[in-house]
């Protein structure tokens, strides 16, 4: 089989595109061939948004584990937990394969946040409510007051009713951070007064939350998950950036699949995790700032693409490779910091403590005394 046909590119819709199809799209001057290749890509990717395909997300989660200090709970760093946390990096994208519209509606927008659609609604990042549902109202009001800035939504193309949403990624991250903190809180109580089964279950929950949460940090550092230009540049385009719909799936996974990532070269670039400290345990502003930093990488990404430095048709560009892997490292770094913070800052679960104490005394009074 020719090399071109053997190189497969995983695309966000779960189908497999050949490298050849992508090459047709990116390089051929023949208008018809270009149109056909585009049709293949659009058909395969329409309406989907993923970042870093499974391999990339898995790598981010496992590199994040490497940033944790020696005294971080050992159960989360065992070989089995490492494998499970790696596997769970893909969980939230597996959920996207569902035909269930209610689940698509709930899960889909958790994976992105189009920061450049705030201004058209008259909002700035610093005005955002840290409460997810309050933000929904906030954005809807801004959208209604600035309706001229938003194209009409075709209900026939909006079966899961997500087109009016600009994403919830920062809320999702903050909510998972809180879930993890809660799990560490109850684990600490079970370790003091629970049964071995309760302790084991609490530990399993922590591994699960760490793994699923990691997915969303990975999404956050794929710059195309922070912008309306997620599938090619839209609207005025003075810099003539790519309008190629397939750019998203290429950055998500095609690029890494073609050029590879050497984990052993990335690991030394990570600093040890540091807890996020501050006067408040509200991480929302920190996460929004983090998203804004990734948004600043949108134009550099399009510049690199324009300069051929992210091209799969040319020799590997070190600049392009450093850009992609640098974004993955940013995800691992922030994820490690959030995991560490959740563990260190988890407060005592006083409700559970009292329930366990009552259970213990009830048990003692029911037991015959000698």
| Binding residues for Zn ion (CB under 5 A) | 111, 219
Nearer to Zn ion, 111 or 309 (CB): 111
Nearer to Zn ion, 160 or 219 (CB): 219
* Cα separation, 112 vs 96, whole angstroms: 13
Q: How far is the CB of 215 from Zn ion (least distance, A)?
A: 6
* Cα separation, 81 vs 58, whole angstroms: 13
Q: How far is the CB of 36 from Zn ion (least distance, A)?
A: 29
Nearer to Zn ion, 111 or 203 (CB): 111
Q: Give the H or E element holding residue 191.
A: helix 169-193
Q: How far is the CB of 229 from Zn ion (least distance, A)?
A: 17
Nearer to Zn ion, 142 or 167 (CB): 167
Nearer to Zn ion, 218 or 246 (CB): 218
Q: How far is the CB of 93 from Zn ion (least distance, A)?
A: 5
Nearest to 300 by CA among 194, 192, 223, 204: 223
Task: Give the alpha-carbon dihedral of 74, 82, 213, 248, to 10 degrees.
Answer: 150
Sign of CA dihedral 357, 362, 366, 370: positive
Q: How far is the CB of 61 from Zn ion (least distance, A)?
A: 13
Strand partners, 16: 10
Question: What does the DSSP assignment read for 64-95?
Answer: HHHTS-TTS-GGGGSHHHHHHHHHHTTHHHHG
- The helix/strand/coil state of 238 is coil
Q: How far is the CB of 206 from Zn ion (least distance, A)?
A: 21
Phi, psi values for residue 294, rounded to 5°: -70, -35
Nearer to Zn ion, 229 or 248 (CB): 248
Q: Give the H or E element holding residue 17.
A: strand 16-18
């Amino acid at each position: 089989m020719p090399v071109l046909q053997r190189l497969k590119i995983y695309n966000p819709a779960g189908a497999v595109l050949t490298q050849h199809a992508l090459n047709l799209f990116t390089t051929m001057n023949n208008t018809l061939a270009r149109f056909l290749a585009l049709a293949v890509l659009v058909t395969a990717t329409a309406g989907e948004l993923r970042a870093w395909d499974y391999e990339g997300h898995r790598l981010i989660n496992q590199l994040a584990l490497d940033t944790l200090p020696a005294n971080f709970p050992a159960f989360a760093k065992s070989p089995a937990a490492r494998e499970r946390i790696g596997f769970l990096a893909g969980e939230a994208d597996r959920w996207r394969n569902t035909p269930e519209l209610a689940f698509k509606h709930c899960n889909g927008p958790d994976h992105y946040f189009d920061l450049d659609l705030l201004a058209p609604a008259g909002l700035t990042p610093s005005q955002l409510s840290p409460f997810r549902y309050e933000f929904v109202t906030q954005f809807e009001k801004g959208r209604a007051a600035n309706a001229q800035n938003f194209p009409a939504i075709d209900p026939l193309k909006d079966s899961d009713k997500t087109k009016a949403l600009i994403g919830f990624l920062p809320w999702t991250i903050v909510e998972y951070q809180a879930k993890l903190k809660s799990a560490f809180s109850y684990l600490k109580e079970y370790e003091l007064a629970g049964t071995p089964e309760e302790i084991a279950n609490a530990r399993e929950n922590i591994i699960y939350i760490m793994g699923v949460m990691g997915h969303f940090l990975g999404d956050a550092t794929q710059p195309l998950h922070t912008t309306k230009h997620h599938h090619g540049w839209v609207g005025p385009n003075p810099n003539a950036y790519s309008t190629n719909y397939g750019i998203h799936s290429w950055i998500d996974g095609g690029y890494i699949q073609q050029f590879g990532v050497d984990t052993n070269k990335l690991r030394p670039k990570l600093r040890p995790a540091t807890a996020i400290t501050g006067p408040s345990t509200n991480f929302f502003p920190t996460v929004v700032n983090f998203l804004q930093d990734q948004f600043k990488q949108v134009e550099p990404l399009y510049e690199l693409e324009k300069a051929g430095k992210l091209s799969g048709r040319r020799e590997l560009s070190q600049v392009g490779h450093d850009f992609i892997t640098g974004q993955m490292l940013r995800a691992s770094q922030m994820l490690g910091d959030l995991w560490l913070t959740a563990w260190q800052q988890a407060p005592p679960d006083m409700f559970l403590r009292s329930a366990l104490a009552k259970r213990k005394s009830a048990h003692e009074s029911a037991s015959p005394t000698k």
